[in-house]
Structure 1
Amino acid sequence: MSDRIHFIGVGGSGMSAVARLIAARGYAVSGTNLTQTAYFDALRDAGMDVQLGHDAALVDGAAAVVISTAVRETNVELARARELGIPVWHRSEALVRALEGQRLIAVAGSHGKTTTSAMVAHALHASGVDAGFAVGARVFGIEGAVAGGYAGTSGISVLEADESDGSFLRYHPEVAILLNIEPDHLDFHGTVENLHRAFADFAAQSRTVVACVDDAVVRGLVEDARARGARVVTYGSAGSGADAEVGPDGIAYEGRTVPLAVSAPGHHNRLNATAAWLAALEVGADPEAAAASFSSFAGTGRRYQLRGEAAGVRVIDDYAHHPTEVAALLTAARDAGVGRMVVLFQPALFTRTRDHAASFGRALSVADAAVVLAPVHGDREDPIPGVSSESIAAHAVMPDGSTLTLAADLEDAARLAADAARPGDTVFTVGSGTVTLAADQILARLAERDV
């Protein structure tokens, strides 16, 4: 029997990480992707058999086929697997197989999962623990990492636990982190109550829960988790009454203050680092080494990632795709002193745009900024009549001196953003879709101006 596992859509951030970990278990890996991405290139450079374009014949002889929620039943490779009776695994099922026997730290929440997962891995490595990880972005600074996946040798692995399709309920980790919970992915969960129940079940399946009590919903789940047998360690801002409180000087925990310096800007990242520190301690990391590690945290791909500078303008790329994330990003940037901002935002998913148009409009109504709205990136969804970037623009109230412009397409948005930028400005490309491609286009246009 074949030991080859075939991935459909292997060039995505999450799928590429799982492919790397499956390969580390000794399986042969093949995969296809419609477009050439950085993750696709990383897997190809690592010697994996990945190809552009879908071809049903590539499925023949595979032991299993791995898909994500984004792969539709009409995909020719998936249809061929169904026809042949080849087992089809969801990405999360493949990840469970790849991490079988490992002590797991799983990071869940509406925002901050990728950064916090990477922080946990970074803290463990700084403590001499060669932890594996599966993170939905490239993790900078850890040698040997390919895309967002790294096998490790310690028997401990960190994973980003995705609530969007309920797949995080498969993991049963030793340590679970609950960062925050907001209404999102209701296309899958149906109601906010169902979403909250899924998070409660995830927490109850964990031995220890590290929970942020700054978040009201998480705070409400703490007692439920305890009642269902989990040990709970809480964290939050100074004065929150949490077990670990994050203040300007460090983390107050168990009667002492541990110094905390975090390279990533924003108070939300100090909270993320505290969650990562507590989780690392649960699996035996050195407290001082773990806390000191965050000052050298190099970040992850598409999380406040500096893509370059041209004509006196910096271009930063960020994955923020929920109103709370967009607001936190722009607040952190302002606090970091970036000066005037040009924000190119590409909404992702028609359902999210429909449900959060007003909140997006408020988040983007910032002072001293030029905002450019690209069309909605539908990804796995079909368009919804009456839902577009104009839905967001209708709710934006721009302060004096700030502007908002609607773009015809992503290329037009990149042109508008580049032309709006002046020396000393910072351009942000923001969203979870194809907007990351605009960063290079903006830099190229700025470079032409520089010449």
Structure 2
Amino acid sequence: MTETKHVQIPVECSPLDLSRPHFAGIGGAGMSALARLLVEQGAQVSGSDLNTTAVTERLASAGCRVHAGHHLAHLQQPSVVVWSSVIAEDNEELVAARAAGITVAHRSHVLAQLMNEAGRRSVVVAGTHGKSTTTAMLAAALERRDPSWAGGGALLGGTNAHYGAGQVFIAEGDESDRSIINYRPAVAVLLNAEDDHPENYTGLAETVGVFRDFALAAEVLVVSADDPGAGAVTELVRGREGLRVVTFGQSKGADVHVTGIEAAGPCTWVQLEDLDGTPVTLTVRVPGRHNALNAVAAFTTGRILGIDAIELAEGLGGFEGIERRMNMVGTADEVSVRDSFAHHPTAISADLAAARTLTTGRTVVVFEPRGWARTAALGADMGSALAAADEIVLLPVHSTVTPPPAQIGTEEMAKAAVAAGGRVHQVTGLTDAEGVVAGLVRPGDLVLLMGTGEVNALGARILAHRATTVLS
């Protein structure tokens, strides 16, 4: 596997035969959603991934043929082989498919075709943060309409995609590899735009440029009025012929204006003025001010689609969250454990602020940095953000690629955290982290497992260790 730097996504000119697709890396967030959509449509779906996971097991239960490991023998006359940007060019299955004359397509082209073929109003949700949650929120808000949707995070106790009979198709767009510009949605949603993915972008200006191109391909842009990066995109596209811009947020003049946000534990109440000025209250059952604004984005999008405000509010009120987004793992001897996907300084700060509202005790964060390029570029900012926790347990960098010649570690991150007042405990791996956390926590504390790699595997181990200690 590779980081996304220099990935070239070829232009797909002809319609793809999606009757027998094979996914190289079927367990990935975007890939698994597409596999589920296609199997629910009756396609004969197969795929492979390096390891068996809960995601691949759910796909197998849904009717997909899933293989462990990548091998040319897994290609059983597929109509197309689908790849994502984390799959290396020399992947055995891709090489074999090309040699056999089998069509090889990037996952973004598959998603674009599914949206186009649906003949429905399409929505693509984009942004540096919050797009998986907002995609799932919008699907929940429109539940009565049975939309099709594909997101990067699975609903708690559910899946990350559904092929519905309704007239709306909702999808999460990925800017990391610039594939987001392959979509032509009726409604483009932009939550925020920050400097991210240093392996593929030179800075914020490039990110804003990609989001600008994404917005210009839509009929309507639903965009944050509060986020500076999103505001930069708005300035570039406002007034363009054929594009309607609708803003949401707390800023004065927002088309859907948030007038108040009140949090109490895991719930937040949002007061807003609808497009016509009518007051509306939303109940958001996932913690954090950022999630309150994600719900406003979903509400605004629903209104643009013509859905009644009351129906949208009721649908959003039933949303309970998605996996790895501040969801509860469990509690043992008055110590609770939650799971967070945050891996960018802004997201780290947002989830730690939310954690503060969920406990009267201390917050102990176990953080696993993601990617060498990201750690080199953003490590110090991550450290400063982590200092908001009472205790920081810092794991080694998680990456799917071989370390660069000058290996990048977490030293600068740790230094920045200490300089900002944090207490840092650097560990060598999950087993070491488990022992350190066991020695740190006391009744009333909240342990927040944070990162995109393997850190979430610590949840059950920490709770079991805590329960065993109590019994002994």
What TM-score, normalized to structure 1? 0.93
The partner residue of 2:138 within 117, 120, 123 is 120
Partner of 1:296 in structure 2?
318
User: In 2 relative to 1, CA 255–434 (structure 1 residues): closer, same or farther, beyond 3 Å?
Assistant: same
Partner of 1:150 in structure 2?
162
Partner of 1:281 in structure 2?
303
User: In 2 relative to 1, CA 123–190 (structure 1 residues): closer, same or farther, beyond 3 Å?
Assistant: same
Q: SS at the partner of 2:454? A: coil
The partner residue of 1:214 within 216, 220, 226 is 226
Partner of 2:197 in structure 1?
185
Q: C-alpha distance in 2, partners of 1:88/1:123?
A: 35
Partner of 2:210 in structure 1?
198
Whether the 8 Å CA contact 1:102–1:157 is kept in 2: the answer is yes
Q: SS at the partner of 1:186? A: coil
* In the alignment, structure 1 residue 393 sits paired with structure 2 residue 414: yes
The Cα offsets for residues 25-83 of structure 1, whole Å up to 9 and x where unpaired, read as: 33210011111211111101112111212221112411111111111122211221122
Residue ranges of structure 1 left out of the alignment (5+ in a row):
none
User: In 2 relative to 1, CA 228–418 (structure 1 residues): closer, same or farther, beyond 3 Å?
Assistant: farther
Greater shift after overlay, 273-282 or 183-192? 183-192
Partner of 1:110 in structure 2?
128
* In the alignment, structure 1 residue 57 sits paired with structure 2 residue 85: no
Whether the 8 Å CA contact 1:235–1:242 is kept in 2: the answer is yes
User: In 2 relative to 1, CA 295–3 (structure 1 residues): closer, same or farther, beyond 3 Å?
Assistant: closer
The Cα offsets for residues 368-404 of structure 1, whole Å up to 9 and x where unpaired, read as: x11101100112564462421222102113677x521
Q: C-alpha distance in 1, partners of 2:18/2:225?
A: 48
Whether the 8 Å CA contact 2:216–2:237 is kept in 1: the answer is yes
Q: C-alpha distance in 2, partners of 1:411/1:15?
A: 30
Q: C-alpha distance in 2, partners of 1:448/1:24?
A: 43
Q: C-alpha distance in 1, partners of 2:405/2:417?
A: 21
* In the alignment, structure 1 residue 268 sits paired with structure 2 residue 256: no
Partner of 1:429 in structure 2?
449
Deviation (angstroms), 1:427: 0.6
Q: SS at the partner of 2:284? A: coil
Q: C-alpha distance in 2, partners of 1:399/1:181?
A: 25
The partner residue of 1:236 within 249, 260, 269 is 249
Whether the 8 Å CA contact 1:414–1:439 is kept in 2: the answer is no
Whether the 8 Å CA contact 1:4–1:63 is kept in 2: the answer is yes
Deviation (angstroms), 1:131: 0.8
User: In 2 relative to 1, CA 380–20 (structure 1 residues): closer, same or farther, beyond 3 Å?
Assistant: farther
Whether the 8 Å CA contact 1:121–1:133 is kept in 2: the answer is yes
Whether the 8 Å CA contact 2:359–2:444 is kept in 1: the answer is no
Counterpart of 1:106, as a letter, is V
Deviation (angstroms), 1:328: 0.5
* In the alignment, structure 1 residue 97 sits paired with structure 2 residue 95: no
Q: C-alpha distance in 2, partners of 1:117/1:58?
A: 32
Counterpart of 1:118, as a letter, is A
Partner of 1:370 in structure 2?
391
Greater shift after overlay, 36-45 or 439-448? 439-448
Greater shift after overlay, 62-71 or 372-381? 372-381
Whether the 8 Å CA contact 2:249–2:293 is kept in 1: the answer is yes
Whether the 8 Å CA contact 1:323–1:360 is kept in 2: the answer is yes
Q: C-alpha distance in 2, partners of 1:86/1:193?
A: 38
Q: C-alpha distance in 2, partners of 1:437/1:42?
A: 18
* In the alignment, structure 1 residue 446 sits paired with structure 2 residue 458: no
Q: C-alpha distance in 1, partners of 2:55/2:425?
A: 32
Whether the 8 Å CA contact 2:18–2:80 is kept in 1: the answer is no
The partner residue of 1:315 within 328, 337, 340 is 337
User: In 2 relative to 1, CA 381–338 (structure 1 residues): closer, same or farther, beyond 3 Å?
Assistant: farther
Partner of 1:327 in structure 2?
349
Deviation (angstroms), 1:168: 0.9
Partner of 2:425 in structure 1?
405
Residue ranges of structure 2 left out of the alignment (5+ in a row):
1-16, 261-269
Q: C-alpha distance in 2, partners of 1:216/1:278?
A: 19
What TM-score, normalized to structure 2? 0.89
Deviation (angstroms), 1:336: 3.5
Percent sequence identity is: 39
Counterpart of 2:442, as a letter, is R
The partner residue of 1:131 within 147, 151, 156 is 147
Q: SS at the partner of 2:45? A: strand
The Cα offsets for residues 117-151 of structure 1, whole Å up to 9 and x where unpaired, read as: 111111111xx21011111111237xxx5x31110
- In the alignment of these two chains, the number of paired residues is 442
Whether the 8 Å CA contact 1:250–1:261 is kept in 2: the answer is no
Whether the 8 Å CA contact 2:198–2:377 is kept in 1: the answer is no
User: In 2 relative to 1, CA 440–386 (structure 1 residues): closer, same or farther, beyond 3 Å?
Assistant: same
Deviation (angstroms), 1:415: 2.8
Deviation (angstroms), 1:290: 0.7
Q: C-alpha distance in 2, partners of 1:168/1:443?
A: 39
